Amino acid sequence: MRTSKYLLSTLKETPNDAEIVSHQLMLRAGMIRKLASGLYTWLPTGLRVLQKVENIVREEMNNAGAVETLMPVVQPSELWHETGRWDKFGPELLRIADRHDRPFVLGPTHEEVITDMVRNEVKSYKQLPLNLYQIQTKFRDEVRPRFGVMRSREFIMKDAYSFHIDRESLEATYQDMHTAYCNIFSRMGLDFRPVLADSGAIGGSGSQEFHVLAESGEDLIAFSTESDYAANIEKAEALAPATDRAAPTQEMTLVDTPDAKTIAELVEQFDLAIEKTVKTLFVKASDESESPLIALIIRGDHELNEVKAENLPQVAAPLEFAGEEEIRALIGAGPGSLGPVNLKVPFIVDRSVAVMSDFGAGANIDGKHYFGINWGRDVALGQTEDLRNVTEGDPSPCGKGTLLLKRGIEVGHIFQLGKNYSESMKATVLGPDGKSVVMEMGCYGIGCTRVVAAAIEQNNDKYGIIWPDAIAPFEVAIVPMNMHKSERVQQAAEKLYSELKALGVDVLFDDRKERPGVMFSDMELIGVPHTIIIGDRSMDEGNFEYKNRRSGEKSPVAIDDVVAFIQQQLSQA
């Protein structure tokens, strides 16, 4: 490609409305342009990267035995009624009507459509297992689209759906997909981790996320220092403390705490250790519970894990915190003075709280706390659960090492759906014994457009993007200096361009009449991994100059060796 026939569209200034570095760099490098909130046009440089991502995904899915299909973006509402998601899905599901006023949706995902297709086409267990995927445009009407293509409304996903006669077959394909995903992200040159993810009501070990590690990631991931264990913090188990509860050493006393509405104020004003305090949080109870609210008690220095809380049968899903008014009506005290002693609603305590002694908590009377509380003596302990987020240094749930926390960007998810969709949609096949069997299903997603942004979050510096070779918009840039004044430079540049193109190298030839500085900074900004600089001065010595984008190092390369040198650089990637 010649820049003169291309739409480079780089920007010098960082656009004001871009908060994260990938969004800034995608705008500056001329990869995307905003059309409307959460809607982006992919300019040529962006699309080249996106297509390389898609092609790697496609090749590895095919290698893993998945078969490609393509389902419509626009889906009839009927199928969404069958699974109940027409009602359950929030306003992210964009509901539309056609000219005849028939209801449709813009597909945010395709479980309904694929399950409908497979129940019509697949009749016998002999046709299973079957793993079908597509790379297709999706739409989610995010209330606040942000971070460019990281959380846009229209985006491109690879979504695969597998169908099985039994759980064993599902688990085998799930493992194949795990391997395929590792191959995909490895080939892209990304530093990623498969991590255990919460699988909600379905349970089991049937859900893993793939995260690109980056400091800007929205998710926290817990790693073991001494094993392969990695889990989304949503999922990572906080083990029960290995130490037993210490015996009481204090009497329980009622203390006036009129100015201590928060744990921080309590600790500060009464010189308490924060590990000797608890937070009592009120959430809506599920229908299972007799009380409208339920209290969750965690240590003062811990954070509630909302996913763990929501998965408890007594707690309403989605999780909803009780308002002050509702709490006050039931308890007679506000949120700053709550605690387990004399509490009128059921409560669940975190494992770490269960081993506390001589601790402080609200007295369920405004402006008062109890200090020196001890379980059993002052209040019955009751139900104990894992309610909190793990923290760095916690023992790893795998039994080896302690936990480290890192940030990640979720780019893929593999999930054992079981019979979630196939049951409600009556997707059955005839089994070996001639009886009808509801199929087991798995689903496997990769956010192709999001991968592009995540790769940039992980690979950039102050000059721009640093693409891994496999997903770079161009592998090699040719930058001729003052080509329009030097016929020798021009001829050398044209010759190298032809030779590299003929070898199938993805090369950008910067043939603009621009100052070398402009050309260098554009090539750095868009992140071309390998640049060959052609100028009269180095040619006098029989050389071109090579610059590596990642290391920043420059070195002379003999003109006659340059093609072989480039081929060697590319094969090392």
Residues that bind a copy of itself (CB under 8 A): 1, 5-7, 9, 30, 33, 35-36, 39-44, 47-48, 50, 65, 67-76, 91-92, 94, 96, 98-99, 104, 106, 113, 116-117, 120-122, 127, 130, 132, 137, 139, 141, 143, 153-154
Specify the residue, 218 or 506, whose C-beta has the smaller distance to a copy of itself.
Answer: 506
Residue 18 in tokens? 């871009």
Helices assigned H by DSSP within 469-548: 487-502, 516-526, 536-540
Smallest gap from Cβ 424 to a copy of itself, in A, equals 18
Residue 241 in tokens? 């403390």
The strand pair at 543-548 and 530-534 is best described as antiparallel
Smallest gap from Cβ 132 to a copy of itself, in A, equals 7
Smallest gap from Cβ 122 to a copy of itself, in A, equals 8
Smallest gap from Cβ 64 to a copy of itself, in A, equals 11
Cα–Cα separations (whole angstroms), residue 541 to 520, 531, 547, 553, 562:
22, 19, 17, 19, 14
DSSP string, 408-477: EEEEEEEEEEETHHHHHTT-EEE-TTS-EEEPEEEEEEEEHHHHHHHHHHHSEETTEE---GGG-S-SEE
SS3 112: helix
Strand-pair partners of 385: 350
Smallest gap from Cβ 77 to a copy of itself, in A, equals 10
Smallest gap from Cβ 278 to a copy of itself, in A, equals 40
Smallest gap from Cβ 75 to a copy of itself, in A, equals 7
Smallest gap from Cβ 174 to a copy of itself, in A, equals 17
Q: 84 near 93, Cβ under 8 Å?
A: no
Specify the residue, 161 or 223, whose C-beta has the smaller distance to a copy of itself.
Answer: 161
Smallest gap from Cβ 161 to a copy of itself, in A, equals 12
Dist CA 339 CA 351 (whole Å): 16
Specify the residue, 140 or 369, whose C-beta has the smaller distance to a copy of itself.
Answer: 140
C-alpha closest to that of 385 among 469, 483, 283: 283
Helices assigned H by DSSP within 122-277: 167-187, 263-270
Specify the residue, 70 or 242, whose C-beta has the smaller distance to a copy of itself.
Answer: 70
Specify the residue, 418 or 473, whose C-beta has the smaller distance to a copy of itself.
Answer: 473
Specify the residue, 46 or 527, whose C-beta has the smaller distance to a copy of itself.
Answer: 46
Dist CA 278 CA 357 (whole Å): 11
Q: Which amino acid is at 262?
A: T
Specify the residue, 334 or 431, whose C-beta has the smaller distance to a copy of itself.
Answer: 431
Q: Which amino acid is at 101?
A: D
DSSP 8-state assignment for residue 100 = T
Specify the residue, 126 or 485, whose C-beta has the smaller distance to a copy of itself.
Answer: 126
Specify the residue, 106 or 379, whose C-beta has the smaller distance to a copy of itself.
Answer: 106
Specify the residue, 130 or 472, whose C-beta has the smaller distance to a copy of itself.
Answer: 130
Dist CA 465 CA 454 (whole Å): 11
Cα–Cα separations (whole angstroms), residue 132 to 115, 201, 501:
11, 25, 35
Strand-pair partners of 447: 157
Specify the residue, 117 or 240, whose C-beta has the smaller distance to a copy of itself.
Answer: 117
Specify the residue, 6 or 181, whose C-beta has the smaller distance to a copy of itself.
Answer: 6
Smallest gap from Cβ 518 to a copy of itself, in A, equals 14
Specify the residue, 102 or 344, whose C-beta has the smaller distance to a copy of itself.
Answer: 102
Q: 34 near 40, Cβ under 8 Å?
A: yes
For tokens 């339920």, what's the residue? Answer: 294
Tell me the angle at which helices 44-63 and 448-458 cross, rounded to the nearest 10 degrees.
Answer: 110
DSSP string, 115-154: HHHHHHH--BGGG-SEEEEEEEEEE---SS-BTGGGB-SE
In degrees and rounded to multiples of 5, residue 266 shows phi and psi of -65, -50
Smallest gap from Cβ 13 to a copy of itself, in A, equals 14
Smallest gap from Cβ 18 to a copy of itself, in A, equals 16
How many Å is the Cα radius of gyration of the chain?
29
Q: 212 near 53, Cβ under 8 Å?
A: no
Q: 10 Å Cβ neighbour count for 273?
A: 12
Smallest gap from Cβ 97 to a copy of itself, in A, equals 8
Specify the residue, 97 or 273, whose C-beta has the smaller distance to a copy of itself.
Answer: 97
Smallest gap from Cβ 10 to a copy of itself, in A, equals 10
SS3 398: coil
